Structure 1
Amino acid sequence: MVYASDSLTALEGVAVYVAGTTRGTYTRKSGYFSMPVLTGDTVVFGALGYEKLYLTVPAEAAENRLTLKIVLQRKENKLPTVDVMPWATEYDLRQAVLRTKLPAEPKDQLPVIPEPYVYKSVTEMPAMDADANFRYGQSIQLQQREARIRVPDILKVFSIPIKYY
């Protein structure tokens, strides 16, 4: 079971995992968890607002079970300071914005779009940043949306004349 050090209350949602593997779980509302481990495994306990705790599974475990009371220490998360605006009212803020001198805007010119560069190998391509990744995902979604309403090119519509007798 996992507890907080200051109040000895059970902690819910603590990540419990074996380092370097894909084995892991979360604690229940009661602070209880159960997970298969091997002798010598390093089990990591981590939760927001608490120090990570590393525990190595000992070799001497009775009946292939190990029951422990895990106590996590609080960790102080320091946030940056917040600067409060010096305006007392919304009117003062509006007046300050109106008095702000903005630089002259550039002339309306269309940006020059370079020709796309075609890479011959995936390994030569530059890494994609977050903005490019977002644009790529949006283009894929747009293509999928258009594909739902587009008539495939392989379908041919034939008109057969109807003869009345």
Structure 2
Amino acid sequence: MNRLIIPFLILLVGLGLVQKVSAQQNNPYRDSIVQLYGVIMTADSLRGIPSASVIVEGKGRGTITSYDGVFSIAVMKGDRITFSSIGFKNNSIQIPFNLESNQYSVIQLLISDTAYLPATILKPRPTKEQFERDFLNNRFPDDAYEIARKNTDEATRRILLNSLPADGREAVNFQLRQQTNKYYYAGQVPPMNIMNPAAWADFITAWKRGDFKRKK
């Protein structure tokens, strides 16, 4: 019985090893890890760019170049690599899927990214006399409180009253008052307020206020 079990176990182990080797040979990702290395340089002067970023897109991994612009990082076949540095335009490459070896070297050239800033004019600080002059001559816009104060000023209201035409309601009320006085004193002489102290008080107040001044 033991003589039959031992060959059977050897057969099972052998079949397992064959299946494992066959699976490794048929696995497309068996040799997908690639050692990417190279140097990042300026396109105009071919100088190494230090501390440039080497990022594997979508993987959250990366590295930076050395002082001479040299880098090395482990990537996968098909990964997209982005090279970037401040003052240069970004550039990207893709690791080939059909790469036969597990090493891939690149010499990446970055083009300078020129940014033009608006011109800045420097002026000397003003003297104390110039600051006082400009501060006193500066005109600030009125706030809501100042605008309301000006609109409710007595002189402003008097000017608006004399210059603006009456609206429909005021015109109708004036006409009705005129007709009321005419019908009330029909057949008699209307009373004269020349001896009325209240009328004289109103006249003096209006005269001081300037209601009788000639309008230009």
Q: TM-score range by the shorter chain?
A: 0.5 to 0.7
Aligned twin of 1:25: 63
The 1:7/1:90 distance shift into structure 2, 3 A limit, reads: same
Q: Answer 1 or 2: which has greater strand percent.
A: 2
Tell me the amino acid that sits aligned with residue 35 of structure 1: I
Aligned twin of 1:59: 97
Per-residue deviation at 1:15?
1.0
Aligned twin of 2:168: none
Aligned twin of 1:77: 115
Structure of larger gyration radius: 2
Per-residue deviation at 1:61?
4.1
Residue by residue, what CA displacement relative to the aligned partner does 1:11-46 show, whole Å, maximum 9, x if unpaired?
011111011121111111010111111111110001
Q: Secondary structure at the match of 1:67?
A: strand
The 1:106/1:13 distance shift into structure 2, 3 A limit, reads: farther
Per-residue deviation at 1:104?
5.8
How many residues get paired?
105
Matched, 1:101 2:129: no
Q: 1:139-158 maps to which residues of 2 (within 5 A)?
A: none
Structure-2 separation of matches of 1:62 and 1:54: 21
Structure 2, unpaired ranges of 5+:
1-38, 146-216
Structure-2 separation of matches of 1:2 and 1:97: 56
Matched, 1:7 2:45: yes
Q: 1:104-115 maps to which residues of 2 (within 5 A)?
A: none
Matched, 1:44 2:82: yes
**Deviating runs (4+, > 4 A) in structure 1?**
103-107
* TM-score, scaled to structure 1: 0.54
RMSD: 2.5
* TM-score, scaled to structure 2: 0.42
Structure-2 separation of matches of 1:62 and 1:81: 54
Tell me the amino acid that sits aligned with residue 25 of structure 1: T
Structure-2 separation of matches of 1:56 and 1:41: 6
Q: Secondary structure at the match of 1:68?
A: strand
Q: Secondary structure at the match of 2:68?
A: coil
Identity across aligned pairs (percent)? 24
The 1:11/1:93 distance shift into structure 2, 3 A limit, reads: farther
